[in-house]
Amino acid sequence: MREFGYQKAADVSVAVALLDADPEARFLGGGTNLVDLMKTGVERPARLVDVRELPLNRIETTEDGGLRIGATVTNTDLAVHPEVRRRYPALAQAVLAGASGQLRNMATVGGNLLQRTRCGYFTDVTKACNKRVPGSGCPAIEGEHHNHAILGTSQHCVATHPSDMGVALTAFDAVVSYETVDGPGELPLADFYLPVSDTPHRETALPPGALITGVTLPPTPVAANSRYRKVRERASYAFAIGSIAAALDIQDGVVRDVRLAFGAVASRPWRARVAEQMLTGAPAEAVSFAAAADAELAAARPLAHNAYKVRLMHNLVAAVLTEMVQEVAR
């Protein structure tokens, strides 16, 4: 590991000034991804600016009845918070479905959004990877890609974003707040991750040196009836091969409002807007769910060894929505 300097930032303005002064500096939150990548040489910062103890660790109800979540709130504190569990249960479930108790206690909300892909070529510095070394190539496309992306990919990168939390936040229209030396800014999560295109090394629309200070969820009544389901290769403590955050409001057998987002299928949490539009106003029944899933997945471009994900996501949409309808009926 490269030697590095270390400073605990006293406040947000100090933190962004420190990062601005050193292009090789990185923010340190819980460290569960960054420290791991430093050990393998994928990340080689000259300086760490520790932001874990900044006063960004609160979860508050906003004036309009949404929720403001500080960037240094741990995954655990987010998942066990009564208002999250009551008003956005899929968010609590998504967080609880990720990593282990130990890692959830360390990891932070801001860090979760910025975590890097677990593509084996990205994490192995002896291999080519366009995300790590622009222009070096993508061995995954011809190689090991059974858990790679099917949506929004390019010929330069097929890596997935590994977050569970981000899938639920995407379904509920979260907005990311950040601070820079030039002042604060906001980015809807829908615009937060950049298209892969021919620049997979550029992952977010955050300005250089920006510090995420929090995530705001707008009031979302439909989210009170929501769930997260994650499919993985073992029962626990594994990244998803496919996941879904769903929220559903039905009246008189008709879908009044619906939210759908997919995980582990794209370079970012994938909001299934095509499916949502088809479902809104449609009968809340299996035929509608299947048609909506097919419409969303028509854009899928699977590779030789991950085509199963198209069927998997189709089945997840149908199964989760059907279950939610049955629960309402009970």
Partner 1 sequence: MAPATSSSVTLNINGEKHTLSVDHRTTLLDALRERLDLTGSKKGCDQGQCGACTVLLDGRRAVSCLQLAVAAEGREITTIEGLSEDGRLHPVQQAFLDLDGYQCGYCTPGQICSAVAVIEEHAAGWPSAVTDDVRPEAQPAPLSAEEIRERMSGNLCRCGAYVAIVEAVAQAAATVAEQAGTEEATAA
| Binding site residues, partner 1, CB under 8 A | 1, 3-8, 28, 31-32, 35-36, 38-39, 46-48, 50, 52, 76, 79-80, 82, 85-86, 89, 92-93, 96-97, 99-103, 105-106, 230, 235-237
Question: How far apart (Å, rounded) are the C-alpha atoms in residues 202 and 304?
Answer: 26
Question: How far apart (Å, rounded) are the C-alpha atoms in residues 217 and 206?
Answer: 19
Find the shortest distance in angstroms from Cβ 288 to partner 1: 26
| Cβ nearer to partner 1, comparing 52 with 68 | 52
Contacts of 31 (CB under 8 A, 6+ apart): 106
| Cβ nearer to partner 1, comparing 131 with 230 | 230
| Cβ nearer to partner 1, comparing 243 with 306 | 243
Question: How far apart (Å, rounded) are the C-alpha atoms in residues 79 and 82?
Answer: 8
Find the shortest distance in angstroms from Cβ 307 to partner 1: 28
Find the shortest distance in angstroms from Cβ 101 to partner 1: 6
Question: How far apart (Å, rounded) are the C-alpha atoms in residues 136 and 274?
Answer: 34
Question: Residue type for 283, please?
Answer: P
| Cβ nearer to partner 1, comparing 48 with 140 | 48
Contacts of 266 (CB under 8 A, 6+ apart): 149, 150, 151, 152, 153, 160, 161
Question: Residue type for 267, please?
Answer: S
Find the shortest distance in angstroms from Cβ 7 to partner 1: 8
| Cβ nearer to partner 1, comparing 277 with 322 | 322
Find the shortest distance in angstroms from Cβ 35 to partner 1: 5
Question: How far apart (Å, rounded) are the C-alpha atoms in residues 254 and 300?
Answer: 28
